[in-house]
Amino acid sequence: MVFPIVSFSSWIIINDDGTTEVYNADEPEVYVAPKKKRKHVVKKKIAPKYVGSSEKIMYLTFDDGPLLGSGNIIDVIQQERVLATMFMVGQHIQKSRFRKKTFKRALNEPLILVANHTFTHASGRYRHFYSDTNRVVNDINKMDNILFDNDINYRAPYLRLAGRNVFRLPSMHYNDPGIPKRYNESEKYDALWEEGYQIFGWDYQWSYNPKNGKVNKSPKELVNAIEKIYSRNRTKISGKFVLLMHDFSFRDRFNGKKDLKDLIRRLKYNGWSFETLSTYL
Ligand SMILES: [Zn+2]
């Protein structure tokens, strides 16, 4: 005689309202993901730039490229759709085919303004470099020629000096407070201004360890510092913030992409919009 096999894996559940449900453990509930709606993707040749508040304008500026790290900066700028300025060094462009390619990539990106950061970067000997007006003007003209020859969107000779926080703009003349007057460097800045250069310094720097270039503030700490300066109205122009960063800080070994993305997203969250320095004044 064959006995039916009794299964103990079924339960009857009596609900509070008296209704019953049968729960069968032999048939485990399978998670079914809700059907995803297909997104309607509109392909545009140039994706729109990010638009934030008109009262808080951030000028992201990156110095010393093309270096390792410059490609990561371009990637993040394209992903986040924000405007930025990259101050590049002539000798760095000429160093390799890869660097030249990075330079061209930045030039071809409408979100990025590529500008002059000298040809030699003063070879690291700043006081010597700035002691001779002709040397300064010739070096910077050499880099300007590279930009003029390669940039089909060349707008004006926008410049940041190597190692000096100086402004020479129609309504703003500002000398680096760290340079004693007796060195007469301001004469050299004036000579560049007379040559037609617009010179941009900065309000604040994302500082780094000079040994390896790694930034020494997290994006969160940096944004806190930025907001403090903004709320105390300590920028050169009210409501406009020029942030100095360096390309080598954004290498893969320092999680450069992640940090820069984090910074930009925090700034967006706090209502900043982004411009290139061509709209600063
Ligand atoms: Zn520099």
Ligand 1 being an ion, which residues bring their Cβ within 5 A of it?
63-64, 162
Q: Which of 34-38, 72-76, 142-146, 151-155 has the lowest mean pLDDT?
A: 34-38
Residue 1 resides in a domain: no
- Read off the pLDDT of each residue in 231-244 and give the average, rounded to a whole number: 96
Count up the domains in the chain and report the number.
Answer: 1
Position 125: which residue type? R
Percent of the chain past pLDDT 90, that is, above it, reads 79
pLDDT-derived band at 80, boundaries 50, 70, 90:
very high
CA of 124 to the centre of ligand 1 (A): 9
Residue 19 resides in a domain: no
Tokens of 110: 């409408």
Q: What is the pLDDT, as a whole number, of residue 51? A: 84
CA of 81 to the centre of ligand 1 (A): 25
What residues pair up with 91 in beta bridges, in sequence order?
none
Q: What is the pLDDT of residues 162-192, one digit of tens each?
A: 999 999 999 899 999 999 999 999 999 999 9
CA of 261 to the centre of ligand 1 (A): 22
Q: What is the pLDDT, as a whole number, of residue 48? A: 77
Q: What is the pLDDT, as a whole number, of residue 50? A: 87
Domain that holds residue 68: 57-279
CA of 9 to the centre of ligand 1 (A): 73
Q: What is the pLDDT, as a whole number, of residue 44? A: 44
Strands 158-159 and 167-169: unpaired
CA of 64 to the centre of ligand 1 (A): 5
CA of 193 to the centre of ligand 1 (A): 19
Q: What is the pLDDT, as a whole number, of residue 49? A: 81
Task: Indicate the average pLDDT of the chain.
Answer: 89
Maximum CA extent, the chain: 114
CA of 7 to the centre of ligand 1 (A): 78
Residue 51 resides in a domain: no
The answer to whether residues 28 and 49 touch, using CB atoms and an 8 Å cutoff, is no
CA of 91 to the centre of ligand 1 (A): 12
CA of 38 to the centre of ligand 1 (A): 47
Residue 64 resides in a domain: yes
Whichever domain contains 91, its CATH number is 3.20.20.370
- Read off the pLDDT of each residue in 137-161 and give the average, rounded to a whole number: 96
Q: What is the pLDDT of residues 18-47, one digit of tens each?
A: 666 555 555 445 555 555 444 444 444 566
Contacts of 34 (CB under 8 A, 6+ apart): none
pTM for the whole structure: 0.82
Residue 83 resides in a domain: yes
Q: What is the pLDDT, as a whole number, of residue 13? A: 56
As a whole number of angstroms, the distance between CA 82 and CA 162 comes to: 25
The answer to whether residues 230 and 236 touch, using CB atoms and an 8 Å cutoff, is no
Q: Which long-range contacts (CB under 8 A, 24 or more apart) does 178-186 make?
A: 183/127, 183/130, 183/131, 185/130
Q: What is the pLDDT, as a whole number, of residue 1? A: 45
CA of 242 to the centre of ligand 1 (A): 15
pLDDT-derived band at 138, boundaries 50, 70, 90:
very high
Residue 20 resides in a domain: no
Position 59 pLDDT exceeds 70: yes
Q: What is the pLDDT, as a whole number, of residue 54? A: 79
CA of 4 to the centre of ligand 1 (A): 85
Looking at 108-201, list the stretches that DSSP marks H as alpha helix, in order from N- to C-terminal side. 126-129, 133-150, 185-194
CA of 210 to the centre of ligand 1 (A): 12
- Nearest CA among 48, 83, 109 for reference residue 275: 83
Neighbours of 211 (CB within 10 A): 6
Q: What is the pLDDT, as a whole number, of residue 42? A: 45
CA of 121 to the centre of ligand 1 (A): 6
Residue 274 resides in a domain: yes
Position 16 pLDDT exceeds 70: no
Residue 23 resides in a domain: no
As a whole number of angstroms, the distance between CA 261 and CA 213 comes to: 18
